[in-house]
Structure 1
Amino acid sequence: IIPKRSRRDKDLYELTGAVMEGWLRHLPDGGAYAVISKELSDVPKDMEHPSESHKELVEKGYLLFAHLKNEPETAEGRAKAFGTFSSNLTDAIQKRPDETKEAFELRKVWSKQQMDQLRQWFVECGEFEAGLKVDMEGKQSVADLLFSALPDTDLSKGIEKLASEPSYFAPVQQPENAVASLRLHFSLNPAMSERYKEIYTLTKPVAEQIIQRDKEASDEVKAARVEFSNLLLKIMTESVDVGVVDLFADLAPSGDHHNLLLGVRCSGQDSITEALKVFPKTEKDVEFTADVAEVEGVKIHQLKLTKNVGASLKEFYGETAGTIYFGVGPEAFWVASGDNSLEHLKATITKVRTAEKGESDNVLASVHVQALPLVKLLDGMATEEGGLDLLEEMRKRGLLAPKAEAAKEEKKDDKKGEESKDRTQRRQQRTQQLQNFKWRPIALEELAKQDGTFDLEFKRTSEGTLTGKATSSEGLLRTLGALIAV
């Protein structure tokens, strides 16, 4: 951005350049505020100070805030403007030198899906408000969010569906002492559903290409992984017709250990069972046992690791750490592992399957995370003898770029001139620094002093309106600060 000061107005600057063209005005308050807009008329010399024009938000104590209000009459103009923006962005997507044509096509369609979703939010939004503040008394940061859709839009109708349809898993209450907990419940509109089906179809050859990259796997193992991947994509494609994303996951203490319980609405139950039978062929030391139990029409199967799973997992989940139970029912798929997990799974299935349909709690999403137990588990798994470093394992499977890939990009850019070469070298250095960054010891040291928690809830509070709140505890903020400071 190139600023050029006005000769007639010392506080006004014209902005030009590739990033943005517009106007900036310094306000006469000692330089604490500046206002930027694409229109000169938005920044007149006698404009009202933001602390007055946004007095209501300032009085809420926000350190940072944003507010947008749209009218139905301007929706057509927003749609036209976003269409131009989306087309320019889509046209700029180019095939990478090391990218297959199938992967490129998938990336383009995925980008279009994201643009379509952003377009709906932008065009059909009536009001948006976000604010961040620090609660000194509670020793936490608080982020507030409000999103209101224009009346009689598809977005408004989707929000209202939350009020009419409760989550299938509504009877499952979040454990008070959960280490981690997740709830998601929102509808899919028809256009979004069809795009997801297209994405899953395009993912099939790309997934096979990724599987074939694993040089350590035999041809038999690769063939099994391709079959397993195809079954998963078939399940996901069929599940789109459910018309809703509805799932929960709880990781909570159980005695001296923990257990994990997950449930998700889906279709394709026969394919799920077939995928579970195929899975032992994709990995070493895995045994499958079908029909170990049945409750309320849900068949429960078992996958068991026959080798030592490591001290960290046993300490966290108990002696049954290597055993995972899968429930396959007519409306949902279940996963359970850890201490007392089979009994917990059966009890929860019974509770959900026998409960009377109640009213919706209007919650679109909720998240709870207690950081220290999770970081401690990840660190133990990565550092113990024969342990598992998840990032390294993903690189080996082709799910993440190998560490040497940044160096390959450097060679390809050598001929683009010194400026391009310098940019490439800096990018390479940043990539390598991030890949080699030892974040776990720093996080463990800080979290041991004061554990960190994160909580978020996003729910429908009135017709066509969603409100949310996210809180981060002092321990988490101090840990993030320590990681950034390195």
Structure 2
Amino acid sequence: MMNLITRLAPALALLLFCTSPAIAQTPQDPQITIQHPGFQVLKKDLKSLLDLGTPADQKQWSNIEDFIDTFVAGIDGSRPFQVQLLAGMTPSGYLAALPLDGGFQTFRDNVEGLGYELKRDGKDTSLYQFNMTLDSDQESTPGAAAAEDVGWMKVLADVDYLILSMSSTRSSMPQLKELTLAKKVADSGTGTGAVMQLINPDVTEAAQKHRRSSFTASRKTTMDAMQKRPDETATRFEMRKLSSNLMLDEVERATAESETLQISLQMDHSAPTTPKVSVQGDLAAIAGTALATALQQFNTRPDAFAGIARLPGSALSLRINHPIDDMRKAGMTSFLNLVRDEVSAKLKNGSQRPASEKEAIDGVVTDIVTHLRSGIDSGWMNIFVEAVPDGQGGFNSIGAYNAANAATLTEILPRMKDMHPGTQVELNVDKAGDYVIHRVQLGEGLLDVFDRLFGVRRDTFVAVGKDYVWLASGENALDTLKKTVAALAPPAATPAAVHLEVALLPWARQMSDYYSRQTPPKEREALTAWKAAE
């Protein structure tokens, strides 16, 4: 039955924090709950995401739907369900409230058909104990303990819900029974999106230390599972590991030091061909913690780009006006250094590349990373990006970022011409207020990701000021850049430190275009036919 929940809610799995491997659930452990409006909504959301893929991806939907339906027989898909992660149990446990479709019998028949054994309690006829020995390689391993799903079910006939608790160890059964009998469904959720909520009832320093200690083993398990991929460079593997560690740093701090945390996720289907996903968060930190100090810095500086509205048809609209505390500063600096090493190594990897180009690459990449680090070292990040599809597989883009030594970029740009044949740099092509505008066109093949995002041999205009740098590319990029800078309103406070709106379909199509060029001819023909039929 453990698999019943974990398999049925793949879209929610990313909202679960790492489990705490303490000896038993205690008041010091976080209470983590997911509420979802129902399996009908879940299936609709999953299908919308799959529809953004290739024809081969879309054909998988019938198999996915059949698989889900196999496990939800007897569950009312139109009503909300709730899953609570029992952090602190070893192994971790789950407590769920599932809406029944016309009583318990259909659900019971399905569960027993899947191989679970149910036994009614001798005193409470609405309470059932269940177990199943899972099929695994352990059965053929002498001396290995059999893997099990065990737990309790409580039928609440008055509201037509089932309370279900589960774990994979029989030693947790007494505690699971207690939790099952105490569980209520009044707060199972009535919204239209998924909501993850974390509550720390105990905010003492001892409880925070307990949660950090518990998290250490979860971090080790996650990191130990990461393996270097065959086609992955050593530096890129280190980047991937560092990215995971930085994410785990954020999760650990939120798990240990937040009083409450709520994340909601909702998909808007009002335009069937362009579904939108909205993610919102709300966090209250425990007073006196590093997290509380970090949150107090929010909105203490005005946003230089607060007056820029989202462009019509934008596929990517990003606003960041975010403080960078010491923890994030150290992590971001380490990551930038790895990016420097990886990009430099990749660009120099051509056996035919002259030594002079390799030397130029090393110098330019190092100086650009130093330039970007100046913004991080300032303790603040202020960024905006707008990217609008151009109808030809590319994007018309404009953006800006803060940099304490922005002017040094003017010294770096001319040296880019020495990195690769065909790279063009023209300084002082125009002005916009206090900004001096330069033109850059990278030589084809210098940086694949740049060619994919901005197009081959397309001009990028770089406007350099005292504390900010602007970039624009695509059709009428120079004119758009000048008009946007001229119309910029004074800095102002903004309600959110990070605001991101993404239209998934244009990006999915662009990635499809890119990968179609990497596939064999027959697969490429199929993709071309699919695009022509759209």
TM-score bracket relative to the smaller structure: 0.5 to 0.7
State the SS of the aligned residue for 1:11: strand
Are residues 1:154 and 2:290 paired?
yes
Specify the alignment match of 2:247 in structure 1.
114
In structure 1, stretches of 5+ residues that fail to align are 308-315, 384-388, 393-431, 449-486
Superposed CA deviations along residues 101-154 of structure 1, whole A, max 9, x for unmatched, are 766665555543333222112212322344556767776676564432323233
| 1:289–1:301 Cα contact (<8 Å) kept | yes
Aligned counterpart for 2:198 among listed residues 49, 68, 72: 68
State the SS of the aligned residue for 1:249: strand
Are residues 1:85 and 2:222 paired?
no
Calculate the aligned-residue CA RMSD, in Å: 4.7
| 1:15–1:24 Cα contact (<8 Å) kept | no
Partners of 1:299 and 1:143 in 2: how far apart? 37
| 1:306–1:322 Cα contact (<8 Å) kept | no
Partners of 1:438 and 1:275 in 2: how far apart? 43
Aligned counterpart for 2:499 among listed residues 365, 368, 371: 365
Paired letter, 2:166: I
Are residues 1:356 and 2:493 paired?
no
Specify the alignment match of 2:67 in structure 1.
none
Specify the alignment match of 2:152 in structure 1.
25
Q: What is the CA-CA distance between 1:334 and the residue it aligns to?
A: 0.8
Specify the alignment match of 1:245 in structure 2.
381
Superposed CA deviations along residues 25-69 of structure 1, whole A, max 9, x for unmatched, are 34447997643358545532783597x43x33432245x554331
Specify the alignment match of 2:346 in structure 1.
210
State the SS of the aligned residue for 1:162: coil
Partners of 1:135 and 1:142 in 2: how far apart? 6
Superposition pairs for residues 259-270 of structure 1, below 5 Å?
A: 259-270=396-407
Are residues 1:232 and 2:365 paired?
no
Q: What is the CA-CA distance between 1:170 and the residue it aligns to?
A: 1.2
| 2:364–2:415 Cα contact (<8 Å) kept | yes
Aligned counterpart for 1:59 among listed residues 184, 187, 190: 190
Closer/same/farther in 2, CA of residues 75 and 14 from structure 1, 3 Å limit: farther
Task: Tell which has more relative contact order, 1 or 2 (C-alpha 8 A, sep 6+).
Answer: 1
| 2:304–2:492 Cα contact (<8 Å) kept | no
Are residues 1:36 and 2:166 paired?
yes
Partners of 1:438 and 1:65 in 2: how far apart? 42
| 1:149–1:155 Cα contact (<8 Å) kept | no
Paired letter, 2:433: E
Aligned counterpart for 1:13 among listed residues 117, 125, 131: 131
Aligned counterpart for 2:432 among listed residues 295, 303, 307: 295
TM-score (norm 1): 0.63
Paired letter, 1:77: H
State the SS of the aligned residue for 2:350: coil
Closer/same/farther in 2, CA of residues 297 and 209 from structure 1, 3 Å limit: same
Q: What is the CA-CA distance between 1:200 and the residue it aligns to?
A: 3.2
| 2:165–2:177 Cα contact (<8 Å) kept | no
Closer/same/farther in 2, CA of residues 329 and 371 from structure 1, 3 Å limit: same
Paired letter, 2:329: S
Are residues 1:278 and 2:391 paired?
no
Partners of 1:88 and 1:253 in 2: how far apart? 41
| 2:276–2:502 Cα contact (<8 Å) kept | no
Closer/same/farther in 2, CA of residues 378 and 129 from structure 1, 3 Å limit: closer
Partners of 2:350 and 2:321 in 1: how far apart? 36
Q: What is the CA-CA distance between 1:362 and the residue it aligns to?
A: 2.6
Partners of 2:454 and 2:328 in 1: how far apart? 38
Closer/same/farther in 2, CA of residues 135 and 240 from structure 1, 3 Å limit: closer
Between the aligned residues of both structures, percent identity stands at 17
Superposed CA deviations along residues 205-264 of structure 1, whole A, max 9, x for unmatched, are 444433343346444433332222212221222221121222111134899997421111
TM-score (norm 2): 0.58
Partners of 1:263 and 1:182 in 2: how far apart? 11
Aligned counterpart for 1:221 among listed residues 353, 357, 369: 357
Partners of 2:502 and 2:481 in 1: how far apart? 21
State the SS of the aligned residue for 2:319: strand
Partners of 2:525 and 2:437 in 1: how far apart? 40
| 2:132–2:149 Cα contact (<8 Å) kept | yes
Partners of 1:99 and 1:255 in 2: how far apart? 33
In structure 2, stretches of 5+ residues that fail to align are 3-90, 92-114, 122-127, 135-143, 445-452
* Larger helix fraction of residues: 1
Paired letter, 2:409: I
Closer/same/farther in 2, CA of residues 380 and 106 from structure 1, 3 Å limit: closer
Number of aligned residue pairs: 385
Partners of 2:509 and 2:152 in 1: how far apart? 49
| 1:290–1:302 Cα contact (<8 Å) kept | yes
State the SS of the aligned residue for 1:47: helix
| 1:234–1:268 Cα contact (<8 Å) kept | no
Are residues 1:128 and 2:297 paired?
no
Specify the alignment match of 1:197 in structure 2.
333
Closer/same/farther in 2, CA of residues 22 and 288 from structure 1, 3 Å limit: same
